[in-house]
Each structure stands twice: as structure tokens, then as C-alpha cells.
Amino acid sequence: MSKKSNEKNREEMRDDHDNAKPRMTADNQPVPEVEEQESGEMTAQQGEAVSEEERAPQSDDEEPDNEEIPVLTKDEIEELRQKAEEHDSLLNQLLRTRADFSNYQKRMQKDLKSARDFAIQELVCDLLPELDNFERALKHAENSDDLDKFVEGVRLTETQILKILDKYGVTPIEPIGKPFDPNLHEAIVEEENNDHPHHTVTGEFQKGFLLKERVIRPSKVKVSKRTVDETESETDEVSDDEVSW
């Protein structure tokens, strides 16, 4: 045999020897050969085992709920039905009451607004005839030279207007000769006057009015101011009387 053929035979024998050796681990132990199909089946079995463990209860103390549903008797069912009907009836009554109250509130607001808007209607209707009298007096004055009749007509109209105001509780304030009251009067002028007590109303520039004892417009008045002490004036009067006697 040639030298090349001998070398080729030795290589083939070396390859057969290497293939015949078992696979070894790091500890010089043979590695078990497992076919790919078997390893796949083992993986599927391991997956099923893991899923069963996840579905299993985590604690042995947990027990399944074995409580029994209570069974109601016929009388109990009838009692519950009656209570449900009573509840529905009360609820409907409450809803109707709320609706009625809401309608009542709206109606009251409408009535109050109407009362505010037309509160003076009756007063205006009573004053309109006196306004007509003023117009007739003015027309008569334009065609007549009799001034006295015109003044008399105006005074009569004023009297009628005051009567109408009195009908509605509006009365004039009478300040002349009375002590000055800041609640009723507004002092416009203060004059020296020893004939009256200090701060006595001696004149009126504008008439004031009361509405049911409430001041709706104070009187604009003139007030006296004494320059002599009242005690001195009384002493002087007494001495004059003694001298006359």
C-alpha cells in the first residue's frame, strides 16, 4: 500500500473512534441523549403542571363558600311585596308634593311681582279725577280774569287730594309751633326769636308726610333761636308784674 492510502485509513479510524465516544459533562459524566420530540412533550407536561398550580388555591386555609341561600316562605314573600308597594306609594306621594310646592313657589313669585307692579293702581285711579279738575281750572283761568275763583278751585282740588291720601294712610305733618324734632323736621333756617322757646318750629317751607306713622318726607322748616335765657325772661316778667301792682 502506498503512503497516502495508509494516512487516509488512519483518519477514517480516528473519526470512527471519536463518534463512538459518549458525550461527557464537566464532571466526566455521560450526558443523557433525549430526542427533540420527547423534550417537547416534557415541556408541555411541565406547562400543564404549572397552570394547575396557578389555578389551585394558594392557601390550604381557604375553603369554598358553602353558604346556603335562605328560602323564604310564602308569608315572608307577601310581606316583602306589601312593603315594596308601600315604598313606591310613599315615593310617588313625595314626588307629587315636591311638584305641587314648586308650582306654588312659581305662582307666589308671579303674584308678588304683579302686586309690586300694580300696587299704586288704586291710588292713581283716585288721583286722576283731581288731575282733571286741575286741567279744567287752568282752562277756566285762561278764559277768565276772575283770579279768586281760580284760587278757590285750586284750594278745593288740594283738599280733595289730601282726602285721597288720607284714605291710603298718608297724612301731613303739622310742625308749626311744635319743638323741633329731627325725626320729623329738616331745619332750613334758624332765626333769632325770643317770643318762642328755643328750637321751636316757626315756619314751614315744604310740607312733610307720614305713611302709617313712617316718615316718607320730613317737613322743611324754620326754627327759632333764643338770644335771652328763658329764666331771665321769666324773672323780668315777674318783676314787671310786681311793679304794675
Comparison of pLDDT for 228 and 197, the residue scoring more: 197
- What local confidence, expressed as pLDDT, does residue 26 receive? 46
Enumerate the β-bridge partners of residue 201.
Answer: 223
Are 157 and 134 in contact by the 8 Å Cβ rule? The answer is yes
- What local confidence, expressed as pLDDT, does residue 148 receive? 83
**CA distances (Å), 147 to each of 132, 138, 206, in order?**
19, 11, 24
**Of all helices (H) and strands (E), which one includes residue 199?**
none
- pLDDT winner (highest mean) among 24-28, 30-34, 150-154: 150-154
93-96 — which CB contacts under 8 Å span 24+ positions?
Answer: none
**CA distances (Å), 243 to each of 68, 229, 232, 233, 240, in order?**
126, 21, 17, 15, 5
